[in-house]
Amino acid sequence: MGKYPSTANRLVPEIPGKIRLSGPLEHDNIVNGYGLRAVLWTQGCFKHCPGCQNPETWDPEGGFLVDIEEIKSRLKEFKGQSGITFCGGEPFAQPKACKEIADFCRKELGWNIWSFSGNTYEEIVEQGGDSLAFLKSLDALIDGPFILAQRDLTLKFRGSKNQRLLHLEYGTAKILKVE
């Protein structure tokens, strides 16, 4: 990746039972995946892509802390959603908290699960551990850093041509389809 080395090993300091967010929970969002979606905006990103639209989400100690149980209660109130998308910031910098919320959404609400990452699928797989466990809880990953020189405003859900929309097999993270 050259100037975009993997940051898959860098984590936001973990506080049990909490997740660090950069913005309020959304619902009825149609620009971060197929169908009407809840969106969770995580805080903390170590990639620092030039041209990033959300540099205020980089600070791993910024944003605000929320109880994961409170997030679950709020998500339960969102009706008619097909899924949830984890955006950032870098969701994989808080893989345990994100996986707990993802599992709740799948099992209790019947939603599908998407996430963005500034790291590639291969970097997340290589990292293993909690990051791989979160990856295996997804139905789709939009991967890779935003690269200004490859910006393309016509792409679905992505900002630059290097980013891929990967449809994954739940439970194994096997790539089923690349869009």
Q: Give min distance, CB of 63 to ligand SF4, in A.
A: 12
Among 52, 71, 75, 101, binds ligand SF4 (CB under 6 A): 52
Among 27, 29, 36, 54, binds ligand SF4 (CB under 6 A): 54
Q: With contact defined as beta carbons under 8 Å apart, do 56 and 85 qualify?
A: no
Query: Taking CB under 6 A as the rule, does residue 45 contact ligand SF4?
Result: yes
Q: Choose the binding region for ligand SF4 from 35-43, 62-70, 75-83, 84-92 (rule: CB under 6 A).
A: 84-92
Among 60, 83, 95, 145, binds ligand SF4 (CB under 6 A): 145
Query: Taking CB under 6 A as the rule, does residue 11 contact ligand SF4?
Result: no
User: 92: closest CA among 19, 147, 30, 38?
Assistant: 19
**Strand 140-143 versus strand 164-168 pairing type:** antiparallel
Other beta carbons less than 10 A from residue 163's beta carbon: 22
- The nearer residue to ligand SF4, 39 or 78, going by C-beta atoms, is 39
Distance CA(142)–CA(115), nearest Å, equals: 6
**Strand 112-116 versus strand 140-143 pairing type:** parallel
